[in-house]
C-alpha cells in the first residue's frame, strides 16, 4: 500500500493542538476558558518539543526512516504558523474582550503609570528575594540553563562602553506568574517578567541597559532505559529522573530582536548548538495562563455538578449491587465516588482474600492507593502492578510503590520494553470454599484527580467467566518479565488483550463487517479513540470502506488515517471533539448484522499500544448499559456533544 495513504503522525499531533487553539478563538466560549485553552496549547507544544522533536531531529540527522524524512522541517513550519495564530488570538480577541470588562492585561506594552508604584513595591517586597543574575562572557560558563525555566537576557554597557550579557532567572516556580493589580476600580494583570524588567535599573545601577529579552530552553525528556540495566528498577529510574531536566536542548525559544552577535554568544556559552532556534513572542511558558487571575462565574463555563449514577441503600453494599447487575460510571459527568467505594469495600470486605490492580498514573493524594495499603494491613493479599515508565508520572509512581511495599502490598513492575497500560482491578472473595470475583475495568487511569476532567467509562461487573480471564492475566503479569511466549498463551474468549489476541480479534471483527457488507447484511463500524496510527488496522479499515462498510471514527488526537478519499476511504468519516473535558474513552462498536458488539478499554490503535503494551478491552453485555453507550456515542458525533451528554445522563435514571 502506498505511503501516501497515511497522514503524517507528527503533523496530526500538531493538528490536534491547533484544534485546542481554535477553541480559544471562539466567542461562544467564556473568556477565562479561552485563556485556559491557550494554556493547554502551550503545555502541549512544550511536550511535543520534549518528546517528539528529539526523535525528528535524530531522524533528520541520520535519515534512517524514510517515512519520517523531512518531518522536522515540516513540524517547525507548522509550529511557526500556529504560533502566529496564537499571538493573533490574544491581540485581536482576548485583549479587547478583557478590556470591555475593564480588565487590562499588560501584554506586549509598557506598564502604565497608574500602577508603577505597586509594581515597584511588588518587586522589592516579594520578587527580589528569588532572583539572581549570571554573567555570560565570551568563554564557557559553568551555568546550566534549566529545562523549561524562564530567563531574561539583559544586554548592558558599562561606563567605558564595554558590553556584557547577564542572565536573570524568572522565578515563576516560586512566585505567581501573573499579578492582578487594582487602581481606582480598574483591574490590571501584569507578568512577573515585566515586573522584573521595570526594576532592572536597581540591579545594574552603574550600567546602561541596551536591551532586555525573554528566553526559554526546552530539553529532551526521554529516559534512556534499556534491557541491559543493572539493579533495582526504581533505583535506576530515580537516577534517570534526576538527570531528565539535564538532557540536550531541543528548543531555544527567544524573544525577537536579539542582536545576532549576542545571540551567538549566548548559544556558545550555554551549549545550545543542537537546539532549534525559535523566535516566539515576548512571553514564554504560557501554560501558566491556567492560573490567570480572573474571578467570577460569568468568566467560566456554567458548573456541571457530578451526577449520582449508583444509589446504594444504607443497609446494602456496592459489592452486593454489582453481584446483581453490571454497573457503568461515565466520568466526569457522573461521580467517581463509587469507584473509590469499590476499593474501600474490597479492603474491608470480610470475604475478600485477594486484590489485584494495575496502576499507571496515580493521583498525588491517591485514596485508591490508601485503600490498597489498608487492605494489606487488614491481612489481605494485595498485588499492584505499578507502571514506573508512565511518562512524567515516574516519580509519583515510585513514591507510591515504596509506600505500598512498606505497607505489605506486593509490588510488580513491568519489564523495560513492555508497559502495562491496562486499567483493571479484581477482588477475589471466598465464601464457604467457593470463589467469587468482582471486577473493575476502565478506559482511563484509576485516578480520582484526572477523573474530574477526563471523559472515561468504568465498568463494575461480576461476570465470572470474564473475570476468570482477568485473573489469568494477572497471573501472567505477576510472574512475567517480558512479552508472552507460546507457553504463556491464555484462551481469552471475552477479553481483548494486547500481546495476546487484541489486534487479531479487531481484524476479525472488521473482517466480519466486510463479509456482511458483501452479503447485504447490516454492517457498520463506529470507533472512538484518542489516537489512530497503527497501519495494519488502518489498512483493514480502508479495506472495509472499499467493501462498502460505513465507518464513523471519533479521534481526539493523532489520526494517520485519511478519510473521504475516493476508492480508498470514501465511506469513512472522522469527528474531532475538543470541549471543556478531555475526551479519553475508547469505544468500539461493530454492527454485526444488527446484533451489535460493543467493546471498551485502554487501547488506542497506536504502534506502542499494539506492540509494546499490555492493554485490556472488554465487552459490554448488559442491554441497558449498551443503550447508554450508544446514546453517548451518537451524541459525540454531533455538535455540543458534552453538554448534550451531561443533560442525557442527568435525565437517565440512576441505578
C-beta of residue 401 within 8 angstroms of C-beta of residue 385: no
Task: Evaluate if residue 244 carries a pLDDT over 70.
Answer: no
Tell me the average pLDDT across 359-380. Answer: 94
**Residue 394 confidence class, pLDDT cut points 50, 70, 90:** confident
Instruction: Calculate the CA 24 to chain-centre distance.
Output: 19
Percentage of the chain lying above the pLDDT 90 cut: 76
Q: Which residue has the higher pLDDT, 578 or 139?
A: 578
Q: Would you name the residues annotated as active-site residues?
A: 421
Q: Model confidence over 438-473: pLDDT tens digits?
A: 999 999 999 999 999 999 999 999 999 999 999 999
Higher-scoring residue by pLDDT: 239, 107:
107
Q: How many CB atoms lie within 10 A of CB 580?
A: 20
Q: Is 193 exposed, middle or buried (0-12, 13-18, 19+ CB in 10 A)?
A: buried
Nine-digit cell string for 349: 470486605
- Per-residue pLDDT tens over the stretch 495-515: 999 999 999 999 999 999 999
Identify the pLDDT of residue 410.
Answer: 95
- pLDDT-derived band of residue 143, with 50, 70 and 90 as boundaries? confident
Cα 109 to Cα 45: distance, rounded to the nearest angstrom: 25
State the DSSP code for 532: B
Q: How confident is the model at residue 3 (pLDDT cuts 50, 70, 90)?
A: very low
- Among the listed residues 299, 297, 382, 293, the one whose alpha carbon sits nearest the alpha carbon of residue 343: 382
Residue 248 has pLDDT above 80, yes or no: no
Place of cell 479521534: 555
Q: How far is CA 381 from the centre of its chain?
A: 32
Model confidence at 235: pLDDT above 90: no
Q: Contact 533/558 with Cβ under 8 angstroms? A: yes
Give the pLDDT band of residue 560 (cuts 50, 70, 90).
very high
Cell output for 610: 499494539
User: Whole-number mean pLDDT of the chain?
Assistant: 90
User: Could you tell me the pTM of the whole model?
Assistant: 0.90
More confident residue, 61 or 584: 584
Q: Which helix (H) or strand (E) holds 324?
A: helix 318-324
| Lowest-confidence segment of 10-14, 363-367, 416-420, 598-602 by average pLDDT | 416-420
> Quick one: pLDDT at residue 428?
98
Confidence of residue 480 (pLDDT cuts 50, 70, 90): low
Confidence (pLDDT) at 236:
55
**Which domains are seen in the chain, by residue range?**
1-100 (1.20.58.310), 109-282 (3.30.1840.10), 318-493 (3.30.870.10), 502-651 (3.30.870.10)
Amino acid at each position: 500500500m502506498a505511503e501516501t495513504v497515511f497522514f503524517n503522525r507528527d503533523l496530526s499531533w500538531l493538528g490536534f493542538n491547533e484544534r485546542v487553539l481554535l477553541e480559544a478563538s471562539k466567542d461562544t466560549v467564556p473568556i477565562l476558558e479561552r485563556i485556559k485553552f491557550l494554556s493547554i496549547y502551550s503545555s502541549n507544544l512544550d511536550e511535543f518539543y520534549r518528546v517528539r522533536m528529539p526523535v525528528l531531529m535524530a531522524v533528520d540527522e541520520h535519515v534512517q526512516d524514510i517515512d519520517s524524512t523531512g518531518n522536522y522541517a515540516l513540524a517547525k513550519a507548522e509550529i511557526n504558523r500556529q504560533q502566529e495564530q496564537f499571538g493573533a488570538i490574544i491581540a485581536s480577541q482576548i485583549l479587547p474582550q478583557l478590556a470591555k470588562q475593564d480588565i487590562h492585561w499588560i501584554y506586549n506594552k509598557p506598564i502604565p503609570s497608574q500602577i508603577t508604584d505597586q509594581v515597584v513595591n511588588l518587586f522589592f517586597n516579594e520578587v527580589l528575594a528569588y532572583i539572581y543574575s549570571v554573567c555570560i562572557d565570551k568563554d564557557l560558563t559553568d551555568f546550566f540553563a534549566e529545562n523549561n525555566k524562564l530567563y531574561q537576557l539583559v544586554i548592558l554597557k558599562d561606563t567605558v562602553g564595554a558590553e556584557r550579557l547577564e542572565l536573570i532567572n524568572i522565578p515563576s516556580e516560586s512566585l505567581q506568574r501573573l499579578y492582578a493589580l487594582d487602581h481606582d476600580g480598574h483591574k490590571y494583570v501584569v507578568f512577573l517578567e515585566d515586573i522584573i524588567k521595570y526594576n532592572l535599573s536597581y540591579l545594574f545601577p552603574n550600567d546602561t541597559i541596551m536591551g532586555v529579552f525573554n528566553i526559554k530552553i526546552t530539553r529532551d525528556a526521554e529516559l534512556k532505559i534499556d534491557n541491559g540495566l543493572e539493579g533495582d528498577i526504581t533505583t535506576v529510574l530515580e537516577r534517570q529522573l534526576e538527570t531528565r531536566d539535564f538532557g540536550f536542548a531541543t528548543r531555544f525559544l527567544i524573544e525577537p530582536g536579539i542582536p545576532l552577535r549576542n545571540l551567538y554568544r549566548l548559544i556558545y556559552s550555554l551549549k545550545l548548538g543542537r537546539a532549534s532556534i525559535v523566535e516566539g513572542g515576548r512571553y514564554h511558558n504560557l501554560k501558566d495562563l491556567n492560573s490567570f487571575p480572573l474571578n467570577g462565574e460569568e468568566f467560566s463555563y456554567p458548573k456541571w455538578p457530578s451526577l449520582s449514577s449508583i444509589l446504594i441503600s444504607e443497609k446494602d453494599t456496592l459489592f452486593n449491587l454489582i453481584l446483581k447487575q453490571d454497573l457503568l460510571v461515565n466520568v466526569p459527568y457522573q461521580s467517581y465516588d463509587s469507584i473509590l467505594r469499590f476499593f474501600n469495600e474490597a479492603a474491608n470486605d470480610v470475604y475478600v482474600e485477594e486484590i489485584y490492580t494495575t496502576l499507571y498514573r496515580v493521583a498525588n493524594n491517591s485514596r485508591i492507593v490508601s485503600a490498597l495499603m489498608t487492605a494489606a494491613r487488614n491481612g489481605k493479599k494485595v498485588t499492584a502492578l505499578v507502571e514506573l515508565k508512565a511518562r512524567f508520572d515516574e516519580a509519583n509512581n515510585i513514591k507510591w510503590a515504596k509506600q505500598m511495599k512498606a505497607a505489605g502490598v506486593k509490588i510488580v513492575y513491568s519489564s523495560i520494553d513492555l508497559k502495562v497500560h491496562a486499567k483493571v482491578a479484581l477482588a477475589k472473595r471466598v465464601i464457604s470454599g467457593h470463589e467469587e470475583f468482582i471486577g473493575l475495568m476502565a478506559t482511563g487511569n484509576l485516578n480520582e484527580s484526572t477523573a474530574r476532567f477526563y471523559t472515561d467509562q468504568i465498568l463494575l461487573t461480576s461476570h465470572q467467566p470474564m473475570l476468570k480471564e482477568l485473573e489469568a492475566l494477572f497471573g501472567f503479569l505477576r510472574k512475567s518479565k517480558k512479552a508472552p511466549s507460546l507457553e504463556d498463551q491464555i484462551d481469552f474468549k471475552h477479553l481483548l488483550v494486547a500481546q495476546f489476541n487484541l489486534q487479531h480479534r479487531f481484524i476479525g471483527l472488521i473482517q466480519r463487517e466486510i463479509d456482511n457488507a458483501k452479503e447485504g447484511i447490516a454492517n457498520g463500524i463506529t470507533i472512538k479513540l484518542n489516537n489512530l496510527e497503527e497501519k495494519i488496522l488502518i489498512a483493514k479499515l480502508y479495506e472495509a470502506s472499499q467493501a462498502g462498510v460505513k465507518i464513523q471514527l471519533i479521534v481526539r488526537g493523532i489520526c494517520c488515517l485519511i478519510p473521504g478519499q475516493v476508492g480508498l476511504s470514501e465511506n469513512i468519516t472522522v469527528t474531532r471533539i475538543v470541549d471543556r473535558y478531555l475526551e479519553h474513552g475508547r469505544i468500539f462498536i461493530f454492527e454485526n448484522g444488527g446484533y451489535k458488539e460493543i467493546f471498551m478499554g485502554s487501547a488506542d490503535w497506536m504502534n506502542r499500544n499494539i506492540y509494546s503494551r499490555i492493554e485490556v478491552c472488554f465487552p459490554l453485555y448488559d442491554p441497558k448499559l449498551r443503550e447508554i453507550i450508544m446514546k453517548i456515542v451518537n451524541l459525540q458525533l454531533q455538535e455540543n456533544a458534552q453538554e448534550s451528554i451531561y443533560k442525557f445522563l442527568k435525565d437517565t435514571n440512576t441505578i
